[in-house]
Structure 1
C-alpha cells in the first residue's frame, strides 16, 4: 500500500498542478513549486489586474507572494523569467538513465556483463559490487553520492533530484567542483572564470569538503529540520484546537443568547401584565371621574332648565312685581351657574397614558420590571379655545389693586431689579444700587435688610426651604442667604461660568440662572444643582450685553428667558430644547418674567411700558398698558398665583400691585 502511494506521488511530481498533465517546459517558483510555462502564463493573465496594480504574483498552491523585478511585464515574459526545473526537465528528457534492472556500466565498457548493485548519482552510472567499492575508495570519487539499486527502485525521481541538485544553478549541466572562500559559496568552472576570476581563494571543492562538512554539521541541520517539523505539527494542532474552541464558544454564545432571550421574554411578559393592569386601573379611575363630571353637568343642565321654566311661568302668570323679583333672583342664579361652568372648564383634565421604557437596555437582566418600564399617568390641563371662555367670564382681567410705597433705610435711590414673595407672605427685594436685600412683611413694612459688597441683580426663594439666592453678575457669583426669625444670614456661594443676571427656583433646591456669555454674543441659561454643578444652554440669538430674566413654571418642566436686546421671550424644556420664541411689535426691551397659578406667562416690556399676558404655549391673551408704570422692570406672583407685583425704573420707591379678576 505504501509503495503504491509512493508511485502515485512520484507520478504526481511529474505532472503540472494546473493542467494535471505531464510537464511541458517546467518553470520553478521560489517556493519550489513548478508549473508548465504555458499554464503559468495563463494563470498570470487571469490575474493581470492584480499583477499590474500590486506588482506581485501568488503561487497557485501555497500563495507565496513573488514580486517581479523591474516594471510589470506581460504574462509571457513574466512566466519565462522563472528558471526551468532542471530535475523535472531531465526526468522528462531521459527517464531511462535510472533503470532498476541495469548492468554495471564500468564492466560493460570492459566487455563484461554484470548486474549493477549501486548507482552513482554524480557519474550517473550503475556499478556492480566490485566497481562500487573501487569507486568509493578512489580519491576523485570517494565523495560521490551513491545509492543502492533498492533505494533507486523505491524512489528513482528523488535520486535524480539529488543528482541534478548538484549542478550549477547559473550554468545548466555544469558540475559544481570549486569553492570560493571569498564569497563562501560553491561554483562551477564557468563561474570561476566569469564571476570569481578576481577572487583570491578559489580551490577544489573536494579538498574543502571535510572542513566544510564539519563546520556545517549536517546532522545538526537535520535535527533542526526535525524540530522545525515537530513545531509546525504542534502549531497545526494548536490551530485545530483553536478552531474547535471557537466552535464551542459559538455554541455557548448561542445558548447564552437563548437564555438571555428567555429572561427578556419573561421580563417583557411581566411588563405586559403590569402595563395592562395599570392601564386598566387608570382607565377605570378616569371613567369614573368622567362619569361624575357628566352627572354633575346633567344636574346643572336640569337646574338651568328649571330656573328657565320658573322664570317663564312667572312672566306669563305673575304680577309685574313678581316678575321683577324673580328676574333679580334668576340673575344671581345665572352668575352662580356661570361660575360653576367656568370652574368645570378650568379644571377639566385629559388623561394621557404613555409607556416609558428605560433606555438602559444593558441593565435589563439586573433590574426589576418596574424600573425597566412603567405606566405614566400624565394629566394636563385641557387647552380650550380662549375665545369661548374669555368673554362670558372675563376672569382674566387684570386690575391695578394698589401702589405701594416702599420705605427702607438706603443711601442711594433704590433700584429693585429683583423681587420675590417668600415665607408667610413676606416680600424680598434686591436693591441693585444699594447692594442690599430687603425683607418686608405681608403689609410691605420693612423687617430687616442685609447689605452685600457688590451690586446684586435678582433674587429667588429655593423650593421648600427658607433659603434665598441672589445673583452678583460682576463676580459671576450666586450668594445664598438663610432667612430665619426675621434675620438674614449668608450661608454659601456658588461660582458661575458666565455672568448671571436672572434667577428662579427649580425643583429639589436646584436653581435656574440666565446671563450673558463673556466674549460671546449669545446669552445663556443654566440649571444649577445644590453642589454647584452647572448645565448650560446657549440661546440662539446674537445680542451681546443683554439683560436677561428667567422664570420656571409650577411643574418645573419649562423655562422662560427674556433677552432684552433681542426683544424676545424664549421658552425651553428642562433638557434645553427650545419650545417657542415670542416676539411682538409692542414688546420692547423685555425684562421681568413670571407665571401665574395657571402657568400663564407675564412678560414686562421695559421700553414699551406694558405687560404681555401669554398662554403657556406662547399665545398672547392680552397686552396690559393701563396702570402700568413707566419703565416697568421686575415682576413676581404671590404664592396663590392671583396677585403680582411690578417694580420700575422711574418712580423707584413705588411698587405696583395687580390682581387677577
Structure 2
C-alpha cells in the first residue's frame, strides 16, 4: 500500500508541475456550483450529507417537490436522497432551507461585491445580510461595515487588532475567512476529536464510547493529521474529474447526434410523403406523431442522464476546488475533516449515480425502414414504415463510470494516513484523546454479491447474553453509528450489541417484542408486539425512552418504513399506513406465516405469501412473485442498499438471494454453521455483512461477510 501511495504521489507531483502555470492563472476565478441549478452557488447551504446548494434553489426544491404536497417533516437530499431534517420541524417550510448552516468554505472562495465594486461586510454575510464594508481588520482578515467595526473595537479580545480603510487593501486579499465545521453530526455540543481507522469515521469522544469502544485502530486527529497526505486524494479526485468530464462530453455529443438524426429523418420522410398522393397525408401524420413520441421519450431519457452526470461532474469539480481552497490555508486537522467529509458525500453520490445511470443507455440510433410497396401500391399502403430505435450504453461511458466506482473504492480502501508506530484501544482514547497512535487500516472494495461467497466471521452464543429462556431474536436494527438493537421475543427484552457484535446491555419491555425499525425522525424507533401494539421509542446516548403506544385490531408482526408510509405485517395481511397510522390503501391479504416486510430504496417493498416472495410498488400494486427453489417456511426478509433481497427458510435452513426485479436468484447458504432453523435476517448498513438469527438455539445469531470466491 505504501508503494502505491508513493507512486501515486509522484504522479500527482509531475502533473502539478505541468499545470502550475494554468492553476496560477485561474486562482482568482474559483467558484463552486450549486448541484441543483449548476450555476455559481449563491448563499450556499450545506446539508448533513455535505452536499451544498443555493439557498433559493434549496427552498424551491423543498416547497415544490417534497414537503408542501405530502406534509412531510423532512426532505431527501436532491442528490443522494439522504433524509434531511430541519433544526425546528415546527418552523414554516419556507424557513427550512435557511436553517441549514452556511457553507463558509464555498462562500470564502466567491468574491462577493456590489455592482459598483464595493466589498460586502464579511460578518454580515454570515447572517445573509449585505452591507457595504468600509474597514479591513488585518488580524482577522475580515471586511467590516461601520456597525461591525464598532462592535469589533468594543470587544476586549479584538480591540488591539489593527483596522485600516478597506481602500488600502488589495482586492485579491479580500476573501471571506475560511471556517471548518468540526461539530459532531450525531451528538449535539460535541466536537470531532478522534478518527476511527477501522471504519474511516470522524468521531467525538461520545461516538467512541457508544459506537467504537471495541475498535483498536483509533487515534486523535492531531496524531492522525501528522501523517496525513492530501496528494493521494487530490490525484484520485483528478482522475474522477477527468472521467466525469468524459461522460458529460459524450452525453452532450450523443444528444446532438440524436437531434441530428431526428431532423434528418423528419426531412427524409417528408420528402417521401410529397411523392405520394393525398391518401398518404393521414399516414404521414400518424408516422410523425409516432416519431415525435419516440424522439421525446428517448431525448428526455438522455437529458435526464446528462443532467445527473453534469451534477456529478459539478460535485467533483467542487470537491477538487475545495481541496485547493483548504490546502495550505487551513490547519491540518481542518483539512483532514474536509477531506473525510468530501469522501463521505462522494461515496453516497457515486452509489446514487450508479443506480440512476448505470443501466441507462446514452446511445440511440434512429433508423427508418420504408415499406417496399410504398411507390408501387399507393392505394393499399397502411404505413410508411417502421420506426426502430436501437439503444445502448457506450463503452467509453461505461468504462468511465466503472473507473469512478473503482476510484471511490480505492479512496475508501486507501487510507490517506500513512503508518503510525503504535496502536490504542478506544478505552485508552477516553483517558487521553491527545496521545494516541494507530496503524493504518484499509477497507476492502465492494464484493459482487452474485459472484462472491459468504464467510462466517462471528457466532454469538446464548451464554454471552443471558436470560431465563433461550433467546429468540425476531428482528433488529442498526442505530447510533453501527450498534445493533435486537428484539428478544422469548425474554421480553431489547438487546444492545456494539459494532463488533459484543453484548452491551438489555432493555426490559412489557410484552414480547417482535420487529423494530427506524421512524421518520432521527433517534425515533417503532417496535411491534403480538398483542396488536406498536410502541414508539426514542434512543439517544444509550437511553431508550417510551414515547407512545398505538393499538391495532390485529396481531402486529413485521414493520418497516417506505418513504412517508409505514409498512405493517399482520397475521393475514400487509397494511400501508401514514406516519400517524391511518390506512392509505386497502389491506393486502396474504397466506402463511407471520408476515415480515422489507422496504427497498427503489420505492418497492417485499413480503412473504406462504413460501413465495411478493414484490409490490409503493401503492401496494403487485410487481412480481418469485419462489426460491427448495425454500420451506419463509421467514425473515431484508433488502440491501442496491435493492437485492435476502430471505431465509426456517424449515429448509437456507439463505437465498433475489434480484430487485425477481429475474434471478441464488442460494447464498444451503446450511448454516451453527444454526439449523434461521429466523430473522439483517443487513449491515455499511459493511457487506448479513446477520442471521435462530429460533431458540444455542447459537443466537451468526454474522457472515461477503468475500471473493
- Larger RCO, structure (CA 8 Å, separation 6 or more): 2
Q: Choose between structure 1 and 2: higher helix proportion.
A: 1
What TM-score, normalized by structure 2, do the two folds share?
0.37
Larger Cα-atom Rg: 1
What TM-score, normalized by structure 1, do the two folds share?
0.40
